[in-house]
Each structure stands twice: as C-alpha cells, then as structure tokens.
Chains A and B, each alone.
Chain A
C-alpha cells in the first residue's frame, strides 16, 4: 500500500514534470498578443538582442577548412554540434588577414584574433601589416561568402524568435519580446544564444537592450562584451549606454573628430546637452540617433520575414530521424494549428514546415492552397506530396531537434456545417462541391509539380494578343476582364497556339501588291492557298517602354522581339495542305523591307 502510494506520488511528480516540459516545448508564439497580455494592455516595451561576430570571415574560413579536413562534410551546413574547433586560437596559427584592393592598394578588410593580438587592424595597408607580422597569411576577402554564411546563421537563429534581421556588418538583431520566458528569462536566453554561436566555432558579442540601436552599440563598443552576454535591465538603458564611447554613434569621420577635439569622449558628455545646438552642429538626425542609442526613443527592426499569424513549435528532447516519426509529429502540429485557426475563425492559405537539424541546417517545405482551409488531413497530404516530390529529399542527418509549423497566410473562414452527404445537397451545392474538388486538384498538382506548373488563362483588357491572355498560377488567377466577343458565324479569328516570341518567316514569293504567295518556316515551304487580312494591330503607345527598358532575352534575336513593338498587319493564312497560320508583316525601323513573322497556329 505504502509502496504503491509512493510509486503513485513519484509517477505523479514525473507526469507533472513531463507536462511542464511538454508545455515548454510546445511553444506557440503569438507575439503581439503575448507581449500585450504580459503588460496589462499598456504598450509593451520591446526587447532586442544584438549579436556581433567580430571575426566572422576568419571563423568562416576556419570552419570551412576544418570541415573539409576532418569529415569532408558539406560546407552548406552550419554544423553546430559537429566537432567544431574551439574559438581559442591554436598556438602555432599564423596571423590571418583578409585583404581587398582599396584605391589600388591592398588593405586589410578583416583580421583574425591572432592578427589582432599581433597589432594588425582593419584598414591597414598589407605592406605595413607584413612589416609588423612577417609570418602573416593573407587571403582575399569574400564578402559574398560572409553574407551567405550570415544568412545561414540567421535561419538557424530563427529558432529563438521569428523576428530577426541581419545587422550589417557581421551582426544580427533578434526581437526577443515575449520570447525570453521560454528560455527561463532574458539572461538564460542570451546565454543560450551565445552558447549556440560558440558551439558553431564563432566569436560572438551579445547585448540585450530596449532598442535595436542600444543593443547594437553595446554589443560592438563595450570592451567586456566578449566575456558574457550583457543584459541591460529594463529602465537602465540610459545609465548603461552613457558609458559608451562616442564612436558608438557611428558618425562620419569629420564629426567624430570634432567631438574628440571638443573633449567629448563618452555619451555621458553629450547626453544632457541641448539637442537644438547638437542638431545644428552635427545634422538634423543626430538627436534622434542619440535618443535611440540611449533608449529614449523606441525603434523597430524590419524582420527578414513578416511574422506569421500562427507558429507552433515542437522542441524535441531527443532528435528524431525516422520518417514515420517526423510525419506523426507533423500531423500533431497540423492538428494543433487547425484548432488554433478554428478558434480564430480563420483558414490557412500557406503552410510551412521548418525542420531544424541538430547540426544547424534548416530545411523549409511550403505548400499553398487556393481556398482557406482548416483541414489538417488535406494539408498533411499536400505536405507529404511536396516532401516526396523534392528534388533533393529531406535528409535528417543526425536527426531534427525542432520542428516548426507556421501558417504563413490566413484568411477568414466562417464555420460551415459538415456531415450532410453530397447526394442530399441541392444541385447548387453540388456544383460548389465540384468546384472545391477542382481547387483541391489544383493544390495537389501544385504541391507535386510546383505552383508555376498549374496555370489558368486569365483575360486582360488589351487588343494585343500577347497581352490579352496571360497565364497565371491557378492560386492567383483572377477574373480581370472578359474574353473578346465574337460572331458565331465567324471562324476562329485568334490562333489556338501563340508563340511567346514571333518566329521569323522567309517570304519566298510575294505578289506585286505585297500579298504573300509562298513562305518558308522551319525549313518547310508552304504555298498559300487562301488568306484573309490584313488586320492591323498597333502597339499600345500608352504602355510601350523605352527601348532600353524593355526586357530582352539574349536567346532571341533582337529583331524578333522588336517585331512586337511596331505596327503589325495580321493575316490568317491557309496553305495547300490545310494548315492555318497567323502571320504578320511589319516594317522594322532599321530593316530595309517589311518582314514576315509567324505569331500563332490555328487549329
């Protein structure tokens, strides 16, 4: 009895702990709502975490070389948990510098920690650097690779918050408002972020403050920032940022010198000065810049991706790699997401499943539907279809440790009664059911072949054939105008097939009045049996672009594309074998004689 009770109690405790963990792991980020509810309705103070990677190029190069030397692994991965070399420099490493030509001279663009200790600084001439450190290794700077690496880091750091932006150079800002409690507070969150960056073999400075500018300035200009994350308590921004050097304002060289000469070394020296005189001396934006750094003025970041209406996360204690487990997790996430959408009276239009691999590679799979839906099974089928159709299949590697489902786009979807079988419904509803199943078919095909492969023809208000009908993805199709009216006794006056670019035709025989008698197209000679025309179509002068702005593909000869920009005389032509063509004749500005083109083929 006693034992049983104890066992029960302990299992209860375990269950409670599990529930707590589970609750923590199923994070639903409703940012604005979350933040507002925490502060009882008054405008929420936002919190920003700025990261700065002071040796990003050097860290990138070291990761690359060590990855290729040790495992030959793909360089695309961020490989956080892979055996990354410690950020501490190996004793024998020569100073590493990245050089780029500046005004004809090679100058240092970035340096490694070893080079910094050797006294080398960015912007130094390479010759001077070699004099200081003869053993240095110079590598050409690759800002494009640095940017790509930073973008991959951003994707990985998106697991902490959906709102984040790259903060050039070599930094990023995370909007962590309402996210800190998920990691157990702001300091633990900052520690986790720093830990993730250091595990990836990166030097990082982080600071958490009330404005993005304050966080940036603290991360970049506080000497102690390398040791531990700097978290500014709420309301103390002014006091903390006052200790920053005036360089943190990042003024131009001239203004910086002016401040230095005046003996103003720290922000504390100018914080209390009259803003009017500062503005007149250093430009109108100077007081605002100062106010943002000291936290007096609120500013926002522009996130890389807009915050989705609904995000649901599963943070997994153990990575999963088997496909059936991944699918089961996805099904659960979809169930939760659809419940949430139902509460909001909405239906999702775009669903993205994000797979975070343990080694930092992120993979996103997106499906879109044409009608808002809350049908978890339907979206599940579409996601499976998309996953099966991927050119490079989803590779779990060592497993996924977090799976996120975000509903990227949602629209109102009122609740409808379900359960009446279609045979009981009146005919109108049956037609609607048929229409709905066509939408489903389009969604399924789009998930398999890509959304640009499932198209609808949409009419546009133009008399030019190439503009009158456009092909749009079925999801985006809209009825803009109506189709051209025709007389029933007329034969079709527009071709069944239309070439994107008119194809040149060689006129072999022409009657004295200019009519075509015989022409050669695709190395075949066609004798004209009968023709009707001309039907003159003039270019739309109110829409014509200047020659230099008009898009021209290099693959097509310039003349063929040009032919669409001049007045065209169209003929319906039938040859002796009964093939019907839509030819036009136009005079191109710098061609000696009018030229013939084929624009379409009739049935």
Chain B
C-alpha cells in the first residue's frame, strides 16, 4: 500500500512524448509541468487541511445529520458557482488523501475494461464516479457507442443524478461506429473547458489500435482533459494509456433490512505508467462525499 502510494505520487508525470517536432514536445512538457504542479498543490492542500485525527472525525461524522445537510447543500455541483477549480471538494476525499493509485490522474488517458460482459453497468459506474471526482462541476462528455446502448440500455438521468453526476452538466454523444466514437471523443478532449471525456465502446474493434490510443493520450496531455476509455466485451489490449484497469461488480455492503447497499466495485490494476504494482481493491462509491471509499476485504 505504502509502496503504491509512493510510486503513484512519484509517477505523476504523464508519459514522455517522443513526438517528432520539438514544438509539440514543448507543449507536452508544459502540460505535464502544469499537471504536476496542480497535483502537488492539490495534495498539499489535502494534507494540510486534514491531519489524521481530524480525518477520523470527518469519517465518523459522515453519517451524522450535519454532514448530510452539508452534502445536500453542495448538490448539485453546478450550484457551487465557479467550481472550475481542479481540486474539487478537497476536504472530503478520503481515498484521495490516502494517495490511492485508483485515484485516476487528470489530463491522461485511462483504459477501463469490463471483466465480463455482464459488468458493463459496473464499469460505467466506476467511470462515472471518477468523472464526478475529476470534473468537479465542469461538463462531462460521454461518447456512447450505439451498440452499448442496445445491450445495456441508455444512460438514465435519474440514475446519474443518484450517483451524484449532475445530468445538466453531461453531454451525451451517440456514435454508430467506433471510428466515429473515437473522432467525437478526440474532438471533445480538445476543449479544455470539458472536465472529463468518457468513451463507452462495445466489442473488440480494429479501430482501437496503438495509433488511436496514442492520439487520445496526446490530446489529453495537451488539453489537460482526462479521457476514460471504457471497453465492454473486449479483452485488454496494449495501448498508450496512463493506467489500465479491469472492473467487475462486487457485492455491496448490506444496509439495514438486508437491502442492497452502495455501489461496490472490484477493480484490478493491470498496468500503470507511474509504476504502481498490479493489485486488486474493492471500492465503494460514497455518494454523499462524492468519492470512492476502500473496503477492507479479508
């Protein structure tokens, strides 16, 4: 765990580009520098605000009435006007404070694979959670393959709102084919006003090659827009992504009355350019704090 934390923090530099022209490389280095600076400031802020006892307290009061009210007041994210800062609700982010590699790096491409066909909704939930965390109120573009819409059903506004993603901040782009999907995502990632771009693709397609992946990674590094590339019914393939994950649904923690609880995911890190070792975690989405919470699972 500590090992992972260290590697994640030290490895926050996005991939070094070997672009042919120096100008582009300069751009990337600049973007990397900015991303690093942002990240450091972010981390410093988080550490400064919550010392360990205070953190425990914050966790303890999560389910008290006061915390509920504050969470309700901050919803929807668009309501806190001007929330375009990258740090988001910094004080209420336990997993991020712990420096978890599952905290996806902004301004990079991340591949997220569904462990099996039936884990499509889980992997979308995982991506939506990260989109909420990274975008922090900025718009989210969700490029949706038509095939995924047929198989899983279309995204439901109430469900997204229930997860904590304001549907008003979501732009849904339907694409018939994978090249259209990738083109739309690339176009969207060029706009730095966008918080996160999610790509949902169904099936293995030739269009998902190294070139496509590298293009997306470069665009993302240049504009600072995170791209989460969700692949369902496809085997993990090599690519230029900063991290690669496999996600499956996990049994939720029961609520009183033996009711199904908050969404839980079993995530496996397959590859991380920052050097984090492959491992599996069980995460639970905490809607009130809009963050993932790690579940100790023995």
Hey, which bits of chain A sit against chain B, CB under 8 A? 427-428, 430-431, 433-435, 437-438, 440-442, 444-445, 448-449, 452-459, 465, 468-471, 474, 479, 483-484, 486-489, 491-500, 524, 529-532, 572-574, 576-580, 600-603
Contact = CB atoms under 8 A, between A and B. Distances in A.
A488 B75 CA distance: 10
A572 B120 contact: no
B119 interface: yes
B156 to A, nearest CB: 4
Contacts of B63: 489
B121 A602 contact: yes
Interface of A is mostly: mixed
B128 A496 contact: yes
B167 A578 contact: no
A483 B255 contact: no
Contact of B249 (A457, A530, A577): A577
Given A483-B161, A492-B287, A577-B249, 6 more contacts: A441-B188, A445-B187, A494-B162, A600-B159, A601-B121, A602-B263
A497 B259 contact: no
A445 B121 CA distance: 26
A516 to B, nearest CB: 13
Nearest to B163: A492
A504 to B, nearest CB: 14
Contact of A487 (B68, B139, B254, B262): B68
Given A479-B168, A486-B162, A524-B118, A445 B287 contact: no
Contacts of A530: 254, 258-260
A479 B193 CA distance: 21
B168 A497 contact: no
24 contacts: A438-B191, A438-B193, A445-B188, A453-B175, A454-B171, A454-B174, A457-B157, A457-B172, A458-B157, A465-B156, A469-B157, A471-B172, A486-B161, A489-B63, A489-B68, A491-B263, A491-B287, A492-B163, A496-B121, A496-B128, A530-B259, A531-B260, A578-B252, A603-B285
A603 B125 contact: yes
A427 B124 contact: no
Contacts of B118: 524, 577, 579
Interface in B143-170: 152-163, 166-168, 170
A433 B161 CA distance: 25
- Lowest 8 A-B CB distances belong to which pairs? A603-B125, A469-B157, A434-B193, A492-B162, A457-B157, A532-B259, A488-B288, A498-B156
Decide if the interface of chain B is mainly helix, strand, loop or mixed.
mixed
Nearest to B184: A445
B171 A438 contact: yes
A524 B152 CA distance: 15
A471 to B, nearest CB: 7
Contact of A500 (B154, B166, B180, B194): B154
B84 A573 contact: no
Contacts of B251: 529, 574, 576-578
B252 A469 contact: no
Contacts of A580: 121, 249, 252, 260, 263
B149 to A, nearest CB: 9
Contact of A448 (B139, B183, B250): B183
B71 interface: yes
Interface string B68-91: 100110001000011010000000
Contacts of A600: 153, 156, 159
Interface of B: 63, 67-68, 71-72, 76, 81-82, 84, 118-122, 124-126, 128, 138-139, 141, 152-163, 166-168, 170-175, 180, 183-184, 187-188, 191, 193-194, 248-252, 254-255, 257-264, 266, 285, 287-288
Given A428-B82, A574-B252, A603-B122, A496 B156 contact: yes
Nearest to B126: A603
Contacts of A458: 157, 167
Contacts of A431: 81-82, 84
Contacts of B160: 457, 496
A13 B259 CA distance: 91
B124 A497 contact: yes
B158 A494 contact: yes
B175 A497 contact: no
Contact of B159 (A449, A456, A492): A492
Contacts of A489: 63, 68, 288
A358 B20 CA distance: 47
| A492, A532, A574 pick with most chain B CB within 10 angstroms | A492
Given A449-B180, A601-B121, A491 B262 contact: yes
Given A441-B191, A578-B251, A603 B124 contact: yes
A579 B122 contact: yes
A452 B52 CA distance: 50
B161 A496 contact: no
Contacts of A577: 118, 248-249, 251
Contacts of B175: 449, 453
B162 A457 contact: no
Nearest to A498: B156
A465 B72 CA distance: 22
A448 B184 contact: yes
Contacts of A487: 68
A458 B156 CA distance: 10
B194 A438 contact: yes
B252 to A, nearest CB: 6
Given A438-B191, A497-B159, A498-B159, A492 B152 contact: no
Given A437-B191, A459-B167, A578-B264, A601 B157 contact: no
A578 B249 CA distance: 5
Most buried by B among A469, A470, A479: A469
A489 B67 CA distance: 10
Contacts of A448: 183-184, 187
Interface centre among B162, B170, B263, B266, by most A CB within 10 Å? Answer: B162
Nearest to A487: B68
A449 B82 contact: no
Contacts of A486: 161-162
Contacts of B248: 577-578
Contact of B155 (A438, A444, A497, A572): A497
Contacts of A603: 121-122, 124-126, 128, 159, 163, 263, 285
Contacts of A444: 187
Nearest to A492: B162
Contacts of B180: 449
A531 B248 CA distance: 20
Nearest to A486: B162
B158 A491 contact: no
A289 B93 CA distance: 79
B158 A484 contact: yes
A453 B249 contact: no
Nearest to A496: B159
A456 B171 contact: yes
A469 B154 CA distance: 11
Contact of A445 (B67, B125, B170, B173): B173
